[in-house]
Structure 1
Amino acid sequence: MSPRSCLCGLPASYQDCCGKLHRGEAVATTAEQLMRSRFTAFGVGDAAYLLRTWHPASRSARLDLDKRVRWTRLEILETTGGSVVHTEGTVRFRAHYVDRGRPGEMEEHSRFVRLDGRWVYAGAM
């Protein structure tokens, strides 16, 4: 990841983009922003952030990230709801990775809800 661009794909540095959310200096204002920050958390190995932003009803007690997988790029394919005025939203995305030298991708349609005023990941649809 270059210091000029965040892994989430937005044109800001990690420190000024997803890093702020990971450090707790800001919160996601939209479901898409939370999705982007969660993808980046996978990329930088921040399991604590992933657990903090996962709905408690579906969250695992712990999360072990595979260090052999390197997340490389995120494509947002579609969003519904999830804005500053919504309480629910979905994000369909494609995440690109390299696993032991082999490129791959996964696609998911994720659901997000507001819990105590903050966006959280509620699971795959």
Structure 2
Amino acid sequence: MSRRTVPPASCPCGRSAGLAACCGRYIDHFETTPAPDAEHLMRSRYSAFVLGRADYLRATWHASQRPAALDLDDGAQWLGLEVRSHRVTGPDSAEVEFVARYRLGGRAVRLHERSRFVCEDGRWYYVDGDQF
């Protein structure tokens, strides 16, 4: 598992709070500090991609869709996240639409997705998403 460094002034998800006060508390303390809603989970998953934390990504992927292995590309340079909407779709479900930008092999990539999340036993999980 690789870890990448992030300047302490802001969280990779784009919020001005430092990593420890924002997404880091969910990533580093998954067992005791679950994300409170789908948007926080989505932001923390983006930060986990930036940091190379495949363990957190797998732990927050719903068991019905979780890949057997997750191979992150260390060459990806994550450039930013824009959360476009967070919508509660039921008592234990929500959607988050976002755009994540990164550069890979000199090529700019824009990932626009509407992700679906479910909450089970007080813990949110990423299920799947539709890309635009």
TM-score normalised by structure 1 residue count: 0.92
Q: Does 1:31 align with 2:38?
A: yes
Q: Counterpart in 2 of 1:87?
A: 92
How far apart, in 1, do the equivalents of 2:22 and 2:77 lie? 19
Counterpart of 1:68? 75
Q: How many aligned positions are there?
A: 123
SS at match of 1:124: strand
Compute the RMSD of aligned alpha carbons.
1.5
Who is 1:5 aligned against?
Answer: 10
Segment of structure 1 superposing worse, 73-82 or 55-64 = 73-82
Q: Is the deviation greater in 69-78 or in 50-59?
A: 69-78
User: Which residue of the partner structure matches residue 106 of structure 1?
Assistant: 111
Summarize deviations over 1:27-62 as a string: whole Å, max 9, x none.
110100000000000000000000000000010111
The match for 2:66 is 59
SS state at 1:40 partner: helix
SS at match of 2:48: helix
CA offset digits 1:39-86 (Å, max 9, x no partner)? 00000000000000000001011100011112120001112117xx94
Shift of 1:22: 0.8
1:115 aligned residue (103, 120, 124): 120
Structure 1 segments, 4+ long, off by >3 Å, are: none
* 1:44 matched residue in structure 2: 51
5+ long unaligned stretches in structure 2: 1-5
Determine if contact 1:43/1:72 at 8 Å carries over to the other structure.
Answer: no
Deviation of 1:107 after TM superposition, in Å, equals: 0.5
Q: Structure 2 CA distance, aligned partners of 1:64 and 1:92?
A: 24
Distance (Å, rounded) in 2 between the aligned partners of 1:42 and 1:80: 23
The normalised TM-score by structure 2 is 0.87
Aligned to 1:58, the other structure's residue is in SS state coil
1:19 maps to which residue?
Answer: 24
CA distance in 2, matches of 1:61, 1:37: 21
Q: Which runs of 5+ in 1 are unaligned?
A: none
